């Protein structure tokens, strides 16, 4: 009789372990979804601030056109197609980098109080995009590590959740924004 009790306790303990592991994995998947939405929100904010910069009319016409096209591409990119989304965001980063690559020109632009405020807001938006993408990458790595555990694979604790995917794009702030 004692063996049955010990066996029942071992089985109950193992079931509790599997249940808590599945719960943790579920929370990681929810965190990934929240991080992805936060990244999308920050990227949309960066697009909006970049559009304000273009609308201010302080950029040269070629840069304004280049940044404007990149903004449109980033705003209309399909969020489910991660490759297209990452490409559009990288194009916006590169366009901003070309428009604001010279710190002296950027300093000249920032002398106007309204444009200076937009440039400071753009610099902050670029930094927040970088941080948010790092949070997403950390969550993806943690989820992948958890999903690679034997018990998670053997007992299919991830269910039908898709494999965690990060988004890799160029997010370095323009050189002119980081100086000063």
Q: What is the pLDDT of residues 91-135, one digit of tens each?
A: 999 999 999 988 888 888 888 888 889 999 999 999 999 999 999
What is the structure's pLDDT at 179?
45
Q: How far apart are CA 20 and CA 167, in angstroms?
A: 29
pLDDT tens, residue by residue, 71-97: 999 999 999 999 999 999 999 999 999
How high is the pLDDT of residue 178? 64
Kindly report the number of other CB atoms within 10 A of residue 134's CB atom.
13
Q: Which residue has the tokens 């840069």?
A: 63
Q: Report pLDDT digits (tens) over 11-69.
A: 999 999 999 999 999 999 999 999 999 999 999 999 999 999 999 988 999 999 999 99
Residue pair 115/53 in contact (Cβ under 8 Å)? The answer is yes
From residue 32, alpha-carbon distances to 22, 126, 165 in Å are 15, 21, 9
pLDDT reported for residue 167: 92
């Amino acid at each position: 009789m004692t063996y049955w009790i010990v066996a029942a306790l071992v089985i109950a303990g193992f079931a509790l372990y599997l249940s808590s592991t599945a719960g943790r994995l579920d929370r990681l998947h929810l965190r990934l979804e929240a991080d992805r939405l936060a990244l999308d929100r920050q990227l949309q904010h960066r697009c909006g601030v970049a559009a304000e910069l273009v609308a201010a009319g302080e950029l040269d016409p070629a840069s304004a056109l280049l940044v404007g096209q990149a903004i449109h591409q980033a705003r209309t990119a399909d969020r489910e197609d991660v490759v297209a989304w990452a490409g559009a965001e990288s194009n916006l980063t590169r366009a901003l980098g070309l428009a604001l690559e010279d710190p002296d020109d950027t300093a000249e632009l920032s002398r106007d109080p309204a444009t200076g405020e937009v440039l400071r807001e753009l610099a902050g938006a670029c930094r927040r995009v970088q941080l948010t993408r790092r949070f997403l990458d950390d969550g993806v790595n943690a989820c992948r590590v958890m999903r690679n555990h034997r018990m998670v694979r053997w007992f299919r604790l991830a269910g039908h959740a898709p494999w965690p995917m990060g988004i890799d794009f160029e997010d370095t702030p323009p050189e002119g924004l980081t100086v000063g």
